[in-house]
Chains A and B, each alone.
Chain A
Amino acid sequence: MEVGLNHFLTVSVALFSLGLYGVVTRKNAVMVLMGVELILNSANINFVAFSRFGNFGIDGQLYALFVIILAAAEAAIALAIVLNIYKTFVNVNIDEINNLKE
């Protein structure tokens, strides 16, 4: 079977589900961040695939570029927050962190 749009979308569906699985099951906050990165990557595959097969020009690739930039900013902020959580609670297991203030 010729590889077409649906093949790329299938990869994206699998990556999105795996990322969401990581977000809801992992205990460590850094692992949850990795799940979020997988989800963003799957969205990016969708953007680029639609831009390739939809005949809209290459604007979709530009949006994927913006998503990558946002992912970088998000990772920096989220890791700063995780470091603060570690300073306060001494671990980063998000199922044990249940109060906003000591």
Chain B
Amino acid sequence: MGLYDIIFYLFAIITIASAVVVVNSKNIVHAAFSMLLTFFGVSGIYVLLGADFLAVVQIMVYVGGILILLLFGVMLTNKIVSVDIRSGSIQVIPAIIALGAFAAILFSIMTSTNWKSESFEIPTTTSVELGNLLMSQYVLIFELLAILLLVAMIGAASIARRDKE
């Protein structure tokens, strides 16, 4: 077992274990902070797959943006005086049974499929190639996503705006 394998298992365990905490923790703030570990684990997996730029973007956007947004959501939708930032679960047993079966089906499909698996030489830095693709082949999607982000920003601001009474 080489160093690559050991690091992979480490990141996989971090990701899965903290994801289990996210979906089971009663305290929403604990769940949000353990989500941080999940994102770091996924980012490490990206690095192992040779996607260095994506790993940095994952940390910047998810940890720096989405997680902060979720924490704001938690704090704005719970009364601070009541301190009780707790949230229960419903129908745990049926969900465990159904999703266990679902995961088993996915896993068996995955192992029985003969995936095309040929490794190729990953460029040492992917950002140059990603930038070239973004400005040539995928320029339309790039522009559309820019418009989408603008629309989402205006839409979110206008939905959450407080009406003048």
User: Footprint of B on A, CB under 8 Å?
Assistant: 1-11, 13-22, 24-31, 33-35, 37-38, 41, 44-45, 48-49, 51-55, 58-59, 61-62, 64-66, 68-77, 79-84, 86, 91-93, 95
26 contacts between A and B (CB under 8 A): A11-B12, A11-B45, A15-B19, A16-B103, A17-B99, A17-B100, A20-B102, A25-B91, A26-B87, A31-B23, A37-B35, A37-B70, A38-B23, A38-B35, A45-B42, A48-B49, A53-B118, A55-B118, A64-B54, A65-B57, A69-B149, A72-B66, A79-B69, A79-B72, A84-B160, A95-B90
Partner of B73, one of A4, A53, A55, A82: A82
The chain A residue sitting closest to B45, CB to CB, is A45
Set B23, B89, B130: member contacting A62, Cβ < 8 A = B130
- Beta-carbon contacts under 8 Å, B127-153 to A: 129-130, 133-134, 138, 141, 145, 148-149, 152-153
Pair B149/A73 contact, Cβ less than 8 Å: yes
Indicate if the CB atoms of A69 and B73 lie closer than 8 Å: no
Whole-angstrom CA separation of A2 from B3 in the bound complex: 11
Q: How many residues of B contact A (CB 8 A)?
A: 79
- Complex-state Cα separation, A26 to B24, whole angstroms: 9
- The listed residue (B57, B138, B148) touching A73 by CB distance below 8 A is B148
Contact with A along B1-30 (1 / 0, CB 8 A): 000110011001001100110110000100
Q: How far is the CA of A82 from the CA of B117 in the complex (A)?
A: 43
Q: Is the interface of B mostly helix, strand, loop or mixed?
A: helix
Contact of A54 among B50, B66, B116, B141 (CB under 8 A): B116
Q: Do B23 and A21 touch (CB < 8 A)?
A: yes
1/0 per position for B28-44, CB-CB distance to A under 8 A?
A: 10011001001100100
Beta-carbon contact of B77 and A92 below 8 Å = yes
- Complex Cα spacing A19 to B117, Å: 27
